[in-house]
Each structure stands twice: as C-alpha cells, then as structure tokens.
Amino acid sequence: MKVLKFGGSSVAQPDRIRGIVEILKDYYAAGDHFTVVFSAFGGVTDNLIEMSELAARGDDRYGQLFQEFADRHQLAIGELLTNEKLQQETAHQMRRSHEVLKNLLYGIFLVREASPRTMDYVLSFGERSSSYIISQVLQQAGVPAEFLDARRIIKTDKTFGNAKVAFEKTYAKIKEHYREHPKVQVVTGFIASAKGGLTTTLGRGGSDYTASLLAAGLKAQAIEIWTDVSGVLTADPRRVEKAFTIPKMTYAEAMEMSHFGAKVIYPPTLMPALQNRIPLYIKNTFQPDFPGTKVSEESDPDGEAVRGISSINNVALCTVSGTGMFGVPGIAGRIFGSLAAANINVILITQGSSEHAISFAVQPSDAERAREAVEAAFAFEIARGVVNAVKVERDLSVVAIIGENMRYQPGIAGRLFRALGKNGINAVAIAQGSSELNVSVVISREDETKALNALHETFFLSDYKTLHLFIVGVGLIGGTLLKQIDQQNDYLRERRGMELKVVGLANSKKMIFAPSGIDLSRWKESLVQSSIPIDLAVFVGRMRDLNLSNSIFVDNTADSKIASFYETILDESISISTPNKIATSSGYLQYQRLKNIADKRGVQFRYETNVGAGLPVISTLRDLIDSGDRITKIEGVLSGSLSYIFNTLDGILPFSDIVREAREKGFTEPDPRIDLSGKDVARKILILARETGVPLNAEDVHVNGFLPEEAMAAASVEDFFNVIEDQAAYFNELYESASREGKVLRMIATLDSDQATVGVQAVGPDNPFYTLSGSDNMIVFTTDRYRVRPLVVRGPGAGAEVTAAGVFAEIIQIGSSLS
Ligand SMILES: NC(=O)C1=CN([C@@H]2O[C@H](COP(=O)(O)OP(=O)(O)OC[C@H]3O[C@@H](n4cnc5c(N)ncnc54)[C@H](O)[C@@H]3O)[C@@H](O)[C@H]2O)C=CC1
Ligand SMILES: N[C@@H](CC=O)C(=O)O
Ligand code: NA
C-alpha cells in the first residue's frame, strides 16, 4: 500500500487535475494498492478564511466570495466530468453541500463571530469539495474510487485550528475502515473530528499529516508527496539558479532543511511515518517520471558531506555580554529560561569561547520582547554594570549548510569560511548545531543570495562555477576579449566547470548591466541602445549593490581615472585583472597599497599583460622569487610596437608609415607617443623592478630616448605624425648608421640591482636581442640559479589576440582561486 498526497498547487486548475488522474490511472493499471489524499483546490482555504472574516465583520461582500467559491467547483465539475450521469450527481451533491456552507456563513454574519470551532467547520468544505469531485473524476476514468471524509477516521482532541491526534484510536479506525473498503479511498486532507463529531483541523502542513497518519495506520510501504517542484533542491532555486534535486536524504536532514526555511515538506507532520520508518518521496506533478527526492532513514556515508544549503532571510541577533558572565554558572539557563517564559522561539545560539558573550537569533518581530525579557532577568547585574544592556542587531540572515556526513569530513567549516571570505562576506556569528547536522552563519541580509551561491559552488562541485565579470573599455583589447569569451564559454563550462558571465559593460560613453549575463553576440548594439551614461562611480556602486558571487573587474582602458577606482573596488572584495599599466606604474605607495588591500580582502589584483602582453613575464618572475631564487639582472626588449618598427625599418619605407602600421596592427598604446618616447618601456621595467622588490618610482628610471626634441614636444598625435614625417631623414640615418656596422636597433631596458635604464642601442649578431623579429619581446632573467645561462621568455609582446588572451587566462586563474 502507498499513500499519495497532492497539495493545493497541484489541484489549482482542471487541466492539472487531469494530469493527476493520468498519474493515478497508471498506478491503478500497474496493480498498485494506493490511497490518495487531497488538499483543497489552490487558494480555496484562503478564500474560505476571507469570506468568514467578512461575514464576521457584518460585511455582506462575503456572499460574493461564496458565490465565486461555489462557481469554481461547479465549473471544475463541468470541465472534468463528461459522463452526464456522474456530472449531474456530482453537481447536485456539491450544491447541497455548499448550501450548508452558505447557511453557515449567514449564521456567522448574523452573530458576527467566527470562533476557531466554527472556522474549522468552514474550512472543511475546501478539502471535502476537492476530494469528492476528484473521486468522481477517477471513477469516470475507470479507477474504482471512493470518497472518504477523514473525519470518519482521524480522531483528535478539541484544540480547534491545531488539533492533537488521538493516535491509537485513529490507527484503529483507519485499519478498520480500509479493511472494509477495498476500493481506492480518496481522502480529505487536513480535517479530522473530535468527540461528538465536531470538525477539527490539523494545523500547518495538515494534509501531509493526514498522509502520514494514514501511512502509519496502514503500515504503508511509502508515502508520495506530489507537489509542483522536483523534490527537495540543494538550495532555493529562486536564489540559486544552479540548485538541483537532492536524490536522497535522511529524515533528520529534511527536518534541518525545513528548520532553515526550505518549504517543500514540513517534517513534524511526518513524525508518524518516520517512527514507522516509512520512506517518503517528493515528486513533481509536472514531471511524473522524474524520481524526485527520497527521504528515509538510510544514510549514505559515502555521499557528499553537504546535502543542502538553506537560509532564513530575516533575523535579529541579540547579544548578552559583560564581565559578570565569565565563569558564572547558570547564565545560559537564565537567558533561555526568560526567553522561553516569554514564548520566544530561538533560531540559533552561539557563545564566544571567552564566555563573555552569548548571542542568539530570533525573528525580528520578537527582538524587542527578547531584549526586554533578558534585561528583566538580569536587571540586578545590569544595574551593577557587570552585564551590559542587550545589543540587538537587525537586517541579518542565517545561512546554513546541512548534511549528516559533515561530521565525518574534516575541513568543511574551513571551506565554508573561505568561500564567504573570498566573496567579502563577513560572518557576524557562527553556530554549529549540536547534532552536527548543520553549520550556520549569521551574515548581513544583503549578502544572503551571494552567500548561498558561493556556498553552492563550493560544496556542489558537480556543477559549474559562474564568474561575474564587470568590463570597462571595449576597444581593441576589450573587444577582442569579449569575442574570445563568447567563443570559449561552452568549452569552459563543459571542460573546466566554469562559466563567464559579463554582467556589467562600459565604453567611454555608456554602460549596461544584466545580472543574468549580457548577450555577447550583440554587446555593441546593447551599448549603443543603453540610456545610462558612463560614470565609473555609478558603475562601481552597481557592482557593489548587485553583490554577485565571484565578481571580477576588468579594466581594458589606458585611463588613469579608471585606475583611481581600483582601491575602492578591491576594498569591496572584487578581484581585478587589467592590461592597463597606470596603477602599477604610478606612485610606489599606491602600488603597494593596492596589493595590501587585495591581500587583506583575500582577492586578487592581477596585471600579467602589463609586461610582454600575453607572455608569462610577471608570473615567471614571481615563481622565481617565491621559490627562493634571487634576481641579479633583468634585461629586455619590452616594446612590441618598437620591436615591430625597428624590425620593419629598411631605409626605404618612411618611418612615419611604419609607425602608422604598428598602430593599425594594434601594437601601440592608444597614444603612440607613449611607446616611441620610451615611456611605455620605462613603465614596464619599473613594474618588473617593483615585482622584484626594488621600490622604484618613475623618475628613478633613466630613459635615453631617440626621438628628436620637436617630436617629443608635439602637442597632439596628429602633430606628432606630422613631425616624424618631416624628420624622415633623421630616422633613416639612425637606421643606416646601425646597418652600416651590420647591426640592428633595439630599445633595451635593464634592471641591474636597483638601477633601471632604458635606451636605444644598435646591436650586432652576437647580441641575443639581434634575432628578434615582428613584434617580439624578449626578457632575460639572470638569477642565482640561472646564472650562467639566463632564463628567457620570448615571443610576440603586443597585439589584440595575444593580449586579450592573457587577460582571459588571468580571469580564469582568478576564478579558480575563488570560492
Ligand atoms: N595593444 C596591446 O598590444 C596591449 C595593450 N595593453 C593595454 O591595454 C589597454 C587597452 O589597449 P587597447 O585596447 O589597445 O586600446 P584602445 O584605445 O583600443 O581601447 C581602450 C578603450 O577604452 C575606452 N576608454 C577610455 N577611457 C575610458 C573610460 N573612462 N571609461 C570607459 N572606457 C574608456 C576607450 O574609448 C577605448 O575604446 C591599454 O591600457 C594598453 O596599455 C597592454 C598590453 C598590450
Ligand atoms: N604598446 C605596447 C603594448 C603592450 O603593452 C607595446 O608596444 O609593447
Ligand atoms: Na605578460
């Protein structure tokens, strides 16, 4: 025997009832023995409450509501019953029954009162109507069904509204009834009766309770709770998009999930089933073949440690502290005694190891009373100043990870706190359930969704992790990066368990935001159509307010204004990846401060593409230092554009044309004067010096430029081109004089102990930089370990694809380190 239960949302509309009838027909055809419990049609219980309240207030609009109630049921009969005889019989029966309800409401209207006892009777019409109609529909479908008014079998005391069940009597009645009624019993949920045939109801989760009582009385082999979701999910799917069905869990885990707000089942009502070890299945009426969740006592020691993540959205945290609490026995007893006496439900308790403070979370609506109760209990100590006034903190949430296996696996709490920390979420208080079934953390309410997502990604690895990107600057590098992300996202999701969502995007004019991800195939149009002008302070504010897990900021501009926001961004616990060299090559103190803030916040500030574009220059340097090597000298050709220009000069092509070409190929800075003046190279050697631990500033780098003074003084980029066009002979001679000696021109940067220099040299075939071609960079590290034959990094050091790819790789690395 199986007990099936269908809730209100499953029976809200006639076509959904048809779906249920199909499910039940299959059970019957398969020869299963079953009985089925129904709630009232969706919304009906609330309607009944509303009409009684109106009637009790003497408001005759109750009549209108009653009529809608009656019509709704007649309409369902008309739609669901095509067999004329059955239809007429059912309609007639319902009219007679609803006539009683109408009179009852009129009685309430006359006496202006609806006592709990009367209310239970009124409410019973909901379940009685739905179950009766469905029993008739089942008969029409060929299932030998019989309506059963549960008042005949479930016996309770007279606590109207939340009656206590008389178990032995109820079980005996159930057995007796089912022995004599072999047909499929279609049972009203929620309602019961007390001595004298008075109608009672079973309180919250009442229809689940009916099913559970039937299962216990019948020693059923299973209970199936049919609802509109696919079982119990790992987290609330409205907050965690990637939540998925938990295939199996224990009763204890289900209880814990429900304590922390999961709404699918209300386990206290399932006690009878649980005591009889009857497994429970939660199934979806929309997807009848999906197995859903099985709740039973079987635990699975090899299963994942964390079964689900849940949260309570709004709590207040009360803290009792003071020197008078240290080592004094009975304090906790007095606190919680006073709360119990005030009938206040405590959601969570935590005690600092110092014993100086005890905190507890309560519903916000109870906080004031809780404070008063505890302060009254400690009035004497508070007056003497040994206990402080109770501190109440509001707008907090509790997030809990739940699972029986957590107790067998070390390191769970560490992972929890790391995930929260990396997302900048502060734990206000921490508690571990004594059962070790949960670890719960009190956090700020605005961080709740972020926390749920970060924890979900941490503990449910089977899923993929989402990185939320905020990108500013969509020129050459930014635009190429977006293209690369769009092309590679499927691969990353499938092969690396990672998905990149661009949720904020800005060019120099406008910005757009889309928390669910900007469509990368049409980002240009989206930006054009946007009505929000670019304002980086607003952009940063939106990043903060969206408060998404795994947020990364990417700056693809060359703008110092953007760089000036890095400090704020890192301070918001958002990591940064950028090819922009401004922040890393401006004041040394600022560079240091950014690194410190990133460290303090547990996030990353990364800029590999600042030197050598996509080539692994900074990471190589860092690896050398981290592994204990000592850098004695760095030499390099660090400019992709100059490399290209010097490699293309042939004494024929005008210098200015070659510079234009380098610019068109995407090698130069947005302002090519930065490259040609040696400034870009100076920035790069400065960054390498700092990474090596030499605290230089820009003025410490000695630059020996090759541009004529007039070019250096050009007021605009166009001016500059005009000047170098005029000076073609000068540049030709530069080339020729080197060429005559069999040499080539190279802009070489050197860091020798704490001396940094940059200058153009003519080098011959014996020089390692001689053979460079195209936009090649080459960086030579001489170290204690690489002393005789230095370590060399070489390859194209500028250009859209390689630079964007460097940023892309860095984003993925940051992503791997998060949560
Ligand atoms: N081109 C290359 O090979 C490499 C470039 N980089 C760096 O990458 C960065 C970007 O370079 P490119 O893409 O070549 O330059 P770009 O000039 O093509 O792109 C920069 C974009 O940023 C936008 N922008 C400037 N200020 C802005 C602001 N305040 N708000 C929003 N957008 C703004 C500009 O409108 C432009 O579209 C620069 O910092 C450059 O030094 C680094 C390594 C190699
Ligand atoms: N303009 C730079 C590009 C990368 O930083 C260069 O020419 O190397
Ligand atoms: Na690099």
Atom of ligand 1 nearest to the CA of 680: 41
Please state, in angstroms and as integers, the Cα–Cα distance from residue 611 to each residue in 458, 562, 741, 746, 784, following that order: 33, 19, 31, 17, 23
Query: Region 729-738: what's the mean pLDDT?
Result: 96
Ligand number, closest to the Cα atom of 555:
1
Q: Are 581 and 671 in contact (CB under 8 A)?
A: no
CB 248 within 8 A of CB 300: yes
The angle that helices 116-140 and 44-56 make with each other, rounded to 10 degrees, is 140
> Best substitution site from 641, 681, 794, 802 to test ligand 2's pocket, by max atoms within 8 Å of Cβ?
641
Are residues 25 and 140 both part of a single domain? yes
Residue 671: inside a domain: yes
Please, are residues 806 and 614 in contact by the beta-carbon 8 Å criterion? yes
Ligand 2 neighbour 668 (Cβ under 6 A) = yes
Q: Residue 152: pLDDT above 60?
A: yes
Q: Is the CB of 254 under 6 A from ligand 2?
A: no
Q: Indicate if ligand 2 lies below 6 Å from the C-beta of 613.
A: yes
Instruction: Render pLDDT for 77-119 as a digit per residue (tens, 0 to 9).
Output: 999 999 999 999 999 999 999 999 999 999 999 999 999 999 9
C-alpha–C-alpha distance, residues 578 and 608, integer Å = 8
Angle between helices 800-817 and 476-496 (to 10 degrees): 40
Average pLDDT (402-418) is: 88
Enclosing H/E stretch for 555 = strand 551-555
How many Å apart are CA 499 and CA 522, to the nearest integer? Answer: 18
What is the atom index within ligand 2 of the atom nearest the CA of 662? 7
Other CB atoms within 10 Å distance of the CB of residue 55: 27
One domain for residues 508 and 631: no
Contact status, residue 596 vs residue 573, Cβ threshold 8 Å = no
Final residue before a domain boundary, out of 168, 202, 228: 228
Sheet holding 631-637: strands in order across? 701-704, 755-763, 744-752, 631-637, 776-783, 791-796
pLDDT tens-digit readout, 208-229: 999 999 999 999 999 999 988 8
The CA-atom distances, in angstroms, between 80 and each of 15, 86, 135, 283, 618 are: 8, 10, 11, 23, 72
How many domains would you assign to the chain?
4
Give the ligand whose atoms come closest to the C-alpha of residue 559: 1
Query: What contacts 409, CB < 8 A, 6 or more positions away?
Result: 305
For residues 310 and 397, the answer to whether their CB atoms sit within 8 Å is no
Section 354-360 average pLDDT: 82
For ligand 2, say whether the CB of 646 is within 6 Å of any of its atoms.
no
Please indicate, yes or no, whether residues 149 and 184 belong to a single structural domain of this protein: yes
**Which protein residue has the closest C-alpha to ligand 1 atom 19?**
475
Any domain includes 255: no
Specify the DSSP element, H or E, that contains 739: helix 728-740
263 within a domain of the structure (yes/no)? no
| Rounded distance from Cα 723 to ligand 1 centre (Å) | 25
Residue 730 backbone dihedrals phi, psi, to 5 degrees: -60, -50
List pLDDT tens digits, range 53-72: 999 999 999 999 999 999 99
- pLDDT, tens digit, for every residue of 120-135? 999 999 999 999 999 9
Q: Is the CB of 674 under 6 A from ligand 2?
A: no
Domain boundary among 198, 213, 228: 228
Q: Which of 133-137, 222-226, 410-414, 631-635 has the lowest mean pLDDT?
A: 410-414
Nearest CA to ligand 1 atom 36: 475
Res 610: pLDDT = 98
90 lines ligand 2 (CB under 6 A): no
Spatial separation of the C-alpha atoms in residues 362 and 314, rounded to whole Å? 9
Pocket of ligand 1 (CB under 6 A): 472-478, 506-508, 534, 556-559, 561-562, 579-581, 609, 613, 640, 666-667, 669-670, 798-799, 803
Q: What is the 8-class DSSP label of residue 238? A: T
Q: Is the sign of the CA dihedral 705, 673, 618, 536 positive or negative?
A: positive
Q: What is the mean pLDDT of the chain?
A: 94
Q: Where are the alpha helices (DSSP H) in 112-230?
A: 116-140, 167-180, 206-218
- pLDDT at position 331 over 90: no
Largest CA distance in the chain: 119
User: For residue 429, what are the β-bridge partners?
Assistant: 442
My answer on whether 162 and 55 are in the same domain is yes
Sort 766 into a burial class: Cβ within 10 Å, 0-12 / 13-18 / 19+.
exposed
CA of residue 180 to ligand 1 center, whole Å: 83
**Cα–Cα dist 194/155, whole Å:** 6
pLDDT at 441 over 80: yes
C-alpha dihedral, 146 to 151 to 154 to 160, nearest 10°: 150
Residue 666 CA to ligand 2 centre (angstroms): 9
First to last CA, the chain: 46
With both helix axes pointing from N to C terminus, report the angle between 412-422 and 448-459 in degrees, rounded to the nearest 10: 130
- pLDDT higher than 60, residue 462: no
Q: 664 and 561 in one domain?
A: no
Residue 576's contacts (CB-CB under 8 Å, 6 or more residues apart) are 552, 553, 554, 555, 566, 569, 570, 598, 603, 604, 605, 606
Active site residue 684: yes
Burial 323-356 (b: 16+ CB within 10 A, else e): ebbeeeeebeeebbebbeeeebebbbbbbeeeee
For 460, the enclosing helix (H) or strand (E) is: none
CA atoms of 315 and 762, how far apart (whole Å)? 72
pTM of the complete model beyond 0.95:
no
Please indicate, yes or no, whether residues 447 and 473 belong to a single structural domain of this protein. Answer: no
**Per the domain annotation, does 718 fall within a domain?**
yes
pLDDT band for 409, please (50, 70, 90 cuts): confident
Mutate to test the pocket of ligand 2, among 675, 679, 758 (most ligand atoms within 8 A of CB): 675
Q: How far is the CA of 558 from the centre of ligand 1 (A)?
A: 5
CA dist 584 and 618 (Å) reads 12
Q: Is 404 within a domain?
A: yes
CATH number at residue 448: 3.30.2130.10
Paired with 186 in beta bridges are 36, 147
Of the two residues 364 and 227, the one the predictor is more confident about is 364
| Atom of ligand 1 minimally distant from the CA of 480 | 13
Task: Report the alpha-carbon distance of residue 581 to residue 606 in Å, rounded.
Answer: 11
User: Each residue of 572-624: pLDDT tens digit?
Assistant: 999 999 999 999 999 999 999 999 999 999 899 999 999 999 999 999 999 99
Same domain, residue pair 686 and 788: yes
CB 811 within 8 A of CB 552: yes
745 in a domain, yes or no? yes
**Which strands form 34-38's sheet, in the order they lie side by side?**
145-148, 184-188, 34-38, 2-6, 222-227, 280-284, 293-296, 248-250
pLDDT band for position 359 (50/70/90)? very high
Residues 703 and 744 in one domain: yes
DSSP secondary structure letters along 520-549: TTSHHHHHHH--EE--HHHHHHHHHHH--T
Same domain, 471 and 486: yes
Q: Which residue, 176, 211, 228, sits at the end of a domain?
A: 228
Nearest 5 degrees, angle CA 773-CA 774-CA 778? 60
Please compute the mean of the pLDDT values over residues 681-708 and round it to a whole number: 97
**How many Cα atoms sit within 13 Å of 211 on the Cβ side?**
34
Question: How many angstroms separate the CA atoms of 118 and 681, rounded?
Answer: 87
pLDDT value at 628 more than 70? yes
| pLDDT exceeds 80 at position 267 | no
Structure tokens at 536: 């980086």
Q: Is residue 446 located within the same domain as residue 478?
A: no
Residue 251 lies in a domain: no
> What is the gyration radius of the CA atoms in the chain, in angstroms?
37
Containing structural domain, residue 181: 2-228
Q: What is the C-alpha to C-alpha distance for residues 270 and 213, in angstroms, rounded to an integer? A: 8
Q: Answer whether 260's CB lies under 8 Å from 232's CB.
A: no
The alpha carbon of 296 and the centre of ligand 2 are apart by a number of angstroms equal to 63
Same domain, 430 and 487: no
State the burial class of residue 245 (Cβ atoms within 10 Å of its Cβ: 0-12, 13-18, 19+).
middle
Q: How many beta carbons lie within 10 A of that of residue 422, not counting itself?
A: 21
pLDDT of residue 819: 67
DSSP conformation letters of 406-443: GGGSTTHHHHHHHHHHHTT---SEEEE-TTSSEEEEEE
Identified catalytic residue from 294, 483, 684, 743: 684
The residue type found at 717 is V
Please report the pLDDT score of residue 767 as a whole number.
96
* Same domain assignment for residues 491 and 437: no
CATH of the domain at 753: 3.30.360.10
Q: Which amino acid residue places its CA nearest to atom 4 of ligand 2?
A: 798
Distance 490 CA to ligand 1 centre (A): 27
Q: What CATH number did the domain enclosing 488 receive?
A: 3.40.50.720
**What does the chain come to in residues?**
819
CA 37, CA 564: separation in Å to the nearest integer?
64
Where residue 94 sits, what CATH number does that domain have? Answer: 3.40.1160.10
Q: How many CA atoms lie within 13 A of 430 on its CB side?
A: 11
Q: Is the ipTM of this complex over 0.85?
A: yes
Q: Is residue 598 part of a domain?
A: yes
Q: Confirm or reject: Cβ of 680 under 6 Å from ligand 2.
A: yes
419 CB less than 6 Å from ligand 2?
A: no
What the block records as the tokens of 39 is: 């709630």
The answer to whether the Cα torsion of 42, 51, 365, 259 is positive or negative is: negative
Indicate whether 364 pLDDT > 80: yes
Give the whole-angstrom CA distance, residue 507 versus residue 546. Answer: 20
